[in-house]
Structure 1
Amino acid sequence: MGERHILAAYNNDTATFHLQLLTKTLDMQKYPFIKLIIERTITNEEYDELFHLLHTLNSKYEVQKEDGLLDFSSLLIHFAGMLNEKLDPNETIFALKAEGYFVELMNTFIKIIEEDGRK
């Protein structure tokens, strides 16, 4: 049993080390969302939950847009309220947009954020 524990710790340490090497070789400025996921230690499950949330919100956005709705603040509030506590809503939105995820929805969220900042 002790051997497995040592092996697991070794593998985890090795994986962490390899990940650190990879992040040094990549231009992380091009991948701000991936950088957030790594820095905030988002798990695979948490990552999947985030994308489930985004798909749900994007579907609601499309329906509301088709219905002629112009105010999507409730979707942004829902996103911020359901977002993993390890992530900052604004930072996550800008990072998602930069990497091309849900661009129209993220542009809408950014517009709301910027309008609120001007008030």
Structure 2
Amino acid sequence: MMDELLKRIERLEYYQQLLLEIVNTNDYPFTKLIIQKKLGPEEVLEFQHLCEYMNNKLQEQKAEGLLYFYPLLKEFSDKLNRKLEVKETVESCLQQYLYVELMTEFKKCLLG
């Protein structure tokens, strides 16, 4: 029974890979990243909470007149799920129009 379940799971993962190859994911690069990095629903929710938290901090810092957000990027990087790379995550979020203001500031920091 367990062997059969394992084979079915492996087949589903294979089908998922095939679907990613044939479906145009250009409009959803972050969603594609979630699938490629095998993030679960809880991990995606944690990411969303992290971005909301970081976005609030960004707004507070801007209200205080700060213009340099590298420490915020560092904090984001430290708290980001280890399955995700910072630069790739920032780029995919920007392309999918997620947390645009926050990710734009992070991208500026990454470019130096």
Same fold at TM > 0.5: yes
Residue 15 (structure 1) shift: 3.2
Partner residue in 1 for 2:101: 104
CA RMSD of superposed structures (Å): 1.7
- Is 1:53 matched with 2:50? yes
Partner secondary structure for residue 30 of structure 1: coil
- Is 1:86 matched with 2:88? no
Partner residue in 2 for 1:32: 29
Instruction: Tell me how far apart the structure 1 counterparts of residues 47 and 5 of structure 2 sit (CA, whole Å).
Output: 28
Comparing 5-14 with 20-29, which one deviates more in the overlay?
Answer: 5-14
Mark the runs of 5 or more structure 1 residues left unpaired by the alignment: none
Structure 1 residue runs of 4+, over 6 Å off? Answer: none
Mark the runs of 5 or more structure 2 residues left unpaired by the alignment: none
Instruction: Tell me how far apart the structure 2 counterparts of residues 59 and 14 of structure 1 sit (CA, whole Å).
Output: 42
Partner secondary structure for residue 48 of structure 1: helix
Identical residues among aligned pairs (%): 34
TM-score (norm 1): 0.81
Partner residue in 1 for 2:110: 113
TM-score (norm 2): 0.86
Instruction: Tell me how far apart the structure 2 counterparts of residues 101 and 54 of structure 1 sit (CA, whole Å).
Output: 9
Report which of the two structures shows the higher radius of gyration computed on alpha carbons: 1
Q: How many residue pairs end up in the alignment?
A: 112
